[in-house]
Structure 1
Amino acid sequence: MLTLLNLLSAIALLIWGTQIVRTGILRVYGSHLRKVLSHNVSKRPMAFAAGIGVTALVQSSNATALLVTSFVAQGLMTLTPALAIMLGADVGTALMARVLTFDLSWLSPLLIFLGVIFFLSRKQTRAGQLGRVAIGLGLMLLALELIVAAATPITQEQGIRVLFASLTGDLLLDALVGALFALISYSSLAAVLLTAMLTGAGLISLPVAIGLVIGANIGSGVLAFLTSSLQTPAGRRVALGSLLYKLIGLLLVMPFLDPLANWLDSLDWRPEEVVIGFHVLYNSLRCVLMLPSVGLMARFCNWLLPDRPDDSGIARPRHLDPTALATPSLALANAVRETLRIGDLIETMLNHLLQVLQGGQTALSKELRRLDDDVDALYSAVKLYLAQVPREALSEHDNRRWAEIIELAVNLEQAGDIIERMLGKVQDQKTAQRHSFSDSGLEELASLHGQLLANLRLGLSVFLSGDKESAKQLLREKRRFRAQERRLAHAHVGRLHQQVVQSIETSGLHMELIADMKRLNSLFCSSAYVVLESGETGALHHEDNGVE
């Protein structure tokens, strides 16, 4: 019982080491990995090479699968290059299995020792996070040694020998057992290395080992598909395509199992090396041969997992991928995209409001209220998403960006509420009192509305780019809006003096709408202050002189 517990704890340590390496690499190089995986992969060979490189870096094809499915789910990447990356990931994990079979017992304590020193002394720096990666790599190497040490006594048990002796080379049965190994150990790498050890101990024959290795590949595909269950259909298609490719590989190798086993057995290699060598050869040939078919596989997966229409009536976040929370830079980028989406909804609400002012139909009023519900839902989603970002892992720049996103999201949510209240005021005036604006008054409101809409767009652009010149321009536009608002208020009073009936009837509403637009404009222009405050304060004071 103690031996089995030692084996399970070693497997758990391997999983934990892999997790530490993945999160550490993503925290240091997350944004760079995103660029590598989501850009410049239009050519299949480049995507294939990117999959090999990233998997070698994060030490896990499952980690690569999480990244790729996340990017596809967010619309950053199409399915075809994503499948090419996953084929490269299969080759990358096979190569890493070969590297980890070398005698690296001296490397594990060295990595853990140096990693702890760097991580504890420079925890919030890049060097500290690289120390975290070194700790993870050291734990992985140590775990592999412990797995071999713990499994060796188990293999001497008579019952275990009988169990493995029952595997007679039936490829389907062996593949099923190998898949279970990968699922239990949460790693195809551990399953392959365990298979190599069992082969070296003479407990299983080479044909059985081949079946277990192929099954371990399939198990990792099943694991990735189960992990992607929380993704959108677009993200799940990546895991599905990768799993189908591994099942096709099983079908293709079945007719050649005996000749392949005889050829491998004739090589002057140790049994463990033969198993690892087959793993590298099988994955490399399978993935290279299937690379030209990724377009066809993408269309097939789209047919199997079509997009489901959202009938809930309330907008749902598109970019807030929970798997990116372990990488703060990626999580902040997701929150930025979702916040800009809220800005697009506010722009649509403003356009609807103008049409209502001009006598639009009741349907527009209902649509505007529905859009405000969408704004509230997305604002809550962004707020809760950012609350889950580990603040201690953020750099000073990312901390500022975190605060900027929260501030803009709050401002946009308030803007949505103001626009909805403006709609209510207009409807009350038109339905209860049946009054309408004068032509001059409506023209003035439309002019101010156009200026407000332009400032919203410029404010979102400043938030996204952080450009100081654009921020200064936004403050100038705010000052111009303020001057225009005062001029229109004076013009309205002039019409009252001229006894214009429509102006008298709608005077209160007219002035309230101008005041509401002034508040909206302040909310839209707030991003300029954030950008300029991070630079020279003198520029801010100069541009903001006399601006409310």
Structure 2
Amino acid sequence: MSDLFNQALIFGVLGGLGLFIFGMRTMSEGLQKIAGERLRRILAALTNNRIIGTLVGIGVTALIQSSSATTVMVVGFVNAGMMSLVQSIGVVLGANIGTTITAQLIAFKITHFALPAIGIGAGLKIFSKRNRKLTYTGEILLGFGLIFFGLSVMKDAFDPIKDSEYFRQLFLLIGDNHLLGVLVGAILTMLVQSSSATMGITLALASSGLLTFEASVALILGENIGTTITANLAALGTNLAARRTALAHFLFNSIGVLYMLILFPFFLSIISFITPGDADLVIQTQQQAQQFGMELGDKPYIARHIANTHTLFNIINTLIFLPLVGVLATITTWLIRGTESQVDLRPKFIDMRVLNTPPIALGQARAETRRMAQHALEMLKETNLYVQDADDKRLEGLEQKEEAVDILQKEITDFLVALSQQSIASQTSRDIASLMHMVNDLERIGDYCEKIWLLAQRKKSQKISFSETAKEDIKRIADQTHDFLAFIIGALEREDKSVMEKAEFFEKSINQLEETYRNNHIARLNTGECAVLPGLVFIDMLHSFEKIGDHTFNVTKALVGYR
């Protein structure tokens, strides 16, 4: 009997927790797909104003229903240099408040709607393939239903242990020893890597009457410390500023928990004052069970008390630390000392840990592609200068840039392939394909730059001389190619898709220059004005510049959506 009891408990908790986490993820993905570009616009609103940063943190986390995803994103942005340490702290403070919406949502007593929501959501997801919005709505409903069904399964699994003296004493110990409760909550959240999942377990235990309100609050405080481990794991291998952001997240949550433990009775009295009902009221009669739609031994009011505790703690903590963001940044800088050494070859924007948030991941891929494009433009500029002055001091920088472009092409492509394997919208899929074309063409531009400077090296080492006419021809096509690439990269930065007409002009102009100069050179060969060996180098250079123009035009087509 004991074995069956343990089996039912373990299977019920594991199954219920699995349904809950899968439901959270499904709902989060549906919300992200519907939010799509709006989510990116919210992130684009980030400024150095700490209040706006906090509001953005609240908004983004409320939309994607995951503070862990938000903090991982923020660490990535800081690592990429897109956000300052002070700004990032404001966003993470906001994320702490945004994540409490999950607890408020699951505190509603709407478990009986779980199965209809699953049925309707699954139906919309399966049978609405042609209507994307209905499909995403189906994902949200399906996830919503799974969350509450998972909670119901966990709650039922805990019912048999209500009469267990061992478990009763264990939960009483947590209630009496607040530090132990904080430690248990922190460790559990670290293990499951989701404060929402730990919140679900806490709500299931408390609603079943197994946890007192005091014990629940202690666990919740611990969960707020445990959730910071995600950001700190995300910060491993990143730059100093990113590691400091993660540490700041840990510090303000931990300090907040510390002063809440000191003011524990006062904090509980505030929650009891603002929340209707007695948190520890236990249903003892059938009449009460019918009234609340619950079972004997359950606590009808405790779920809302727990949700309000989670929300109020994070609001108070944010209000206290918001004016002290600069101080917190100074402390983290002092604790994690050192100066940053930039590694140019390493990707700065893309982060595999945000693949579960496709709109953000796509934005990161675009940012990394723009960075790769800037490398290609700088390489072309330096290549053109090397052709003119043959200064070997330029070669080391050119080789580094070429290596960076090659590495970025591989890293961005791998990232986009991994993103394409996620559950994504059709527009996101088209954007991924365009970016793949773009990075491949940018890498080819780098290859042709390398070919040109190797030709210039050969010209120098073999003491090959160009005529003045040939020098002018090379300079003119080189400048035109550089202007074309600079124009398109500028459009890429602005996301300006109205550039096709001018791009066609540039591309035709470069093709005409290449054809004209090649024919003129052949004419000079026929008259004996030019030698054969310089002519071969000249023709190869012309061809390489023309190919750079072709690949730049391909980048244009990817930008405007033709590829």
Task: Classify the secondary structure of the residue corresponding to 2:499.
Answer: helix
Conserved 8 A contact 1:339-1:405:
yes
Tell me by how many angstroms 1:84 deviates: 2.3
Instruction: Check whether the contact 2:151–2:204 (CA below 8 A) recurs between aligned residues.
Output: no
Cα pair distance change 1:395/1:520, threshold 3 Å? same
CA distance in 1, matches of 2:225, 2:252: 9
Q: Would you say 1:120 and 2:148 are equivalent positions?
A: no
1:349 aligns with: 379
Deviation at 1:310, TM superposition (A): 5.3
The yes-or-no answer on 1:386 pairing with 2:416 is yes
CA change 1:25–1:205 in 2 (3 A) is closer
Q: What is aligned with 1:543?
A: none
Contact 2:247–2:332, Cα closer than 8 Å, also in 1: yes
For structure 1, list consecutive stretches of 5 or more residues without a partner in the other structure: 536-548
Match of 2:27 in 1: 21
Q: Does 1:448 align with 2:477?
A: yes
Partner of 2:37: 31
1:300 maps to 331
- Shift in Å at residue 396 of structure 1? 4.8
Distance in 2 (CA, whole Å) between partners of 1:262 and 1:333 is 45
Shift, 1:241, TM fit: 1.7
Of residues 118-127 and 202-211 in structure 1, the stretch that sits farther from structure 2 once superposed is 202-211
Q: Per-residue CA shift, 1:56-107, capped at 9, x if unaligned? A: 3333322333343344444444333432232233233334423422211232
Aligned residue in 1 for 2:149: 142
For 2:443, give the aligned amino acid.
E
Cα distance in 2, alignment partners of residues 486 and 184 from structure 1: 66
Given residue 416 of structure 2, which amino acid in structure 1 is its aligned partner?
Answer: L
CA shift, 1:204, in A, is 5.5
**8 Å Cα contact 2:86/2:329 also seen in 1:** yes
2:221 is matched with 214
- CA change 1:113–1:246 in 2 (3 A) is same
1:511 maps to what in 2? 539
Alignment of 1:365-444 (within 5 A): 365-390=395-420, 393-431=423-461, 433-444=462-473
- State the shift of 1:453 in Å: 0.5
Larger mean CA deviation between 345-354 and 470-479 belongs to: 345-354
TM-score normalised by length of structure 1: 0.85
Cα RMSD over matched residues? Answer: 3.3
For residue 233 of structure 2, give the secondary structure of its aligned residue in structure 1.
helix
Structure 2 residue identity aligned to 1:240:
L
Query: Which secondary structure state, in structure 2, belongs to the residue aligned with residue 326 of structure 1?
Result: coil
Match among 472, 475, 489 for residue 504 of structure 2: 475
2:213·2:279 contact (CA, 8 Å) conserved in 1? no
Whether contact under 8 Å (1:343, 1:460) holds in the other structure is yes
Aligned positions, number: 531
Whole-angstrom distance in 2 between the partners of 1:192 and 1:391: 30
Alignment match, 2:341:
309
Who is 1:130 aligned against? 137
SS class of match (1:421): helix
Stretches of structure 2 that go unaligned for 5 or more consecutive residues are 1-5, 281-301
CA 1:6 to 1:184, structure 2 compared with 1: closer, same or farther past 3 Å?
Answer: farther
1:160 CA displacement: 1.7
- In structure 2, what is the Cα distance between the partners aligned to 1:301 and 1:75? 17
- 1:101 is aligned to 2:107: yes
Shift of residue 155, structure 1, vs aligned partner: 4.0
Give the match's secondary structure for 1:317: coil
Q: Specify the alignment match of 1:522 in structure 2.
A: 550
The answer on 1:161 being equivalent to 2:168 is: yes
Q: Per the alignment, do residues 221 and 495 of structure 1 end up closer, same or farther by CA in structure 2, a change over 3 Å counting?
A: same
Alignment CA distance shift 1:146-1:421 (3 Å) = same
Contact 2:390-2:456 within 8 A present in 1 as well? no
Aligned twin of 2:314: 283
Q: CA 1:123–1:295 in 2, change beyond 3 Å: closer, same or farther?
A: farther
Please report how far the alpha carbon of residue 386 of structure 1 lies from its aligned counterpart in structure 2 after TM superposition. Answer: 1.8
Query: Counterpart of 1:513 in structure 2: which amino acid?
Result: M
* Distance of 1:479 and 1:200 partners within structure 2: 72
Q: Residue 106 of structure 1: SS of its match in structure 2? A: helix
Instruction: State the Cα deviation string for residues 453-482 of structure 1 (Å, max 9, x = none).
Output: 011122334556675652111111222223
What's the secondary structure of 2:400's corresponding residue? Answer: helix
CA distance, structure 1, for counterparts of residue 449 and residue 35 of structure 2: 42
One-letter amino acid matched to 2:383: L
- In percent, how many aligned pairs have the same letter? 24
Residue 159 (structure 1) shift: 1.9
How far apart, in 2, do the equivalents of 1:461 and 1:281 lie?
46
Q: Distance in 2 between matches of 1:362 and 1:35?
A: 45
Change (3 A) 1:111 1:237: farther
Native 8 Å contact 1:123 1:129 kept in 2 = no
Closer, same or farther in 2 for the Cα pair 1:172/1:399, shift >3 Å?
A: closer
**Paired amino acid for 2:316:** L
Distance change in 2, residues 1:307/1:142 (3 Å): farther
Letter in 1 for 2:332: C
Other structure's SS at 2:107 match: coil
1:165-204 superposed matches below 5 A: 165-167=172-174, 169-192=176-199, 194-195=201-202
Whole-angstrom CA distance in 2 between matches of 1:461 and 1:51:
30
Q: Which residue is 1:360 aligned to? A: 390
Q: 1:331 to 1:192 in 2, by over 3 A?
A: closer
Q: Which moved more, 1:56-65 or 1:286-295?
A: 56-65
Which position in structure 1 is the counterpart of 2:351? Answer: 321
Structure 1 residue 138: deviation in Å? 0.8
1-side partners of 2:249 and 2:226: how far apart? 11
What is the Cα deviation at residue 167 of structure 1? 3.7
More moved, 318-327 vs 195-204: 195-204
**Worse overlay, 93-102 or 187-196:** 187-196
TM-superposed CA distance for 1:255, in Å, is 3.0
1:247 corresponding residue in structure 2: 254
- Output the CA distance in 1 between the equivalents of 2:390 and 2:162: 79
Letter in 2 for 1:222: I
Equivalent position amino acid for 2:52 in 1: M
Say if 2:32 and 2:63, in contact at 8 Å, map to a contact too: no
Measure the CA separation in 2 of the matches of 1:54 and 1:246.
19
For 1:84, which of 86, 90, 93 is the aligned residue?
Answer: 90
Following the alignment from structure 2 to structure 1, what is the Cα–Cα distance between the partners of residues 167 and 442?
A: 64
Contact 2:77 2:349 in 1 (8 A): no
Q: 1:436 to 1:367 in 2, by over 3 A?
A: farther
**Aligned with 2:124: secondary structure?**
helix
Output the CA distance in 2 between the equivalents of 1:115 and 1:201: 28
Q: Structure 1 residue 8 and structure 2 residue 5: aligned?
A: no
Structure 1 residue 398 displacement after superposition:
3.8
Residue 495 of structure 1 deviates from its aligned partner by 5.6
Q: Distance in 2 between matches of 1:353 and 1:197?
A: 65
Q: Determine if contact 1:207/1:258 at 8 Å carries over to the other structure.
A: no
- 1:270 has 2:270 as partner: no
Which residue of structure 2 aligns with residue 542 of structure 1?
none
Tell me the CA shift for residue 249 of structure 1. Answer: 0.8
Deviation string 1:133-160 (CA, Å, 9 cap, x unpaired) is 1111111111122222222323432222
Q: CA deviation at 1:244?
A: 0.9
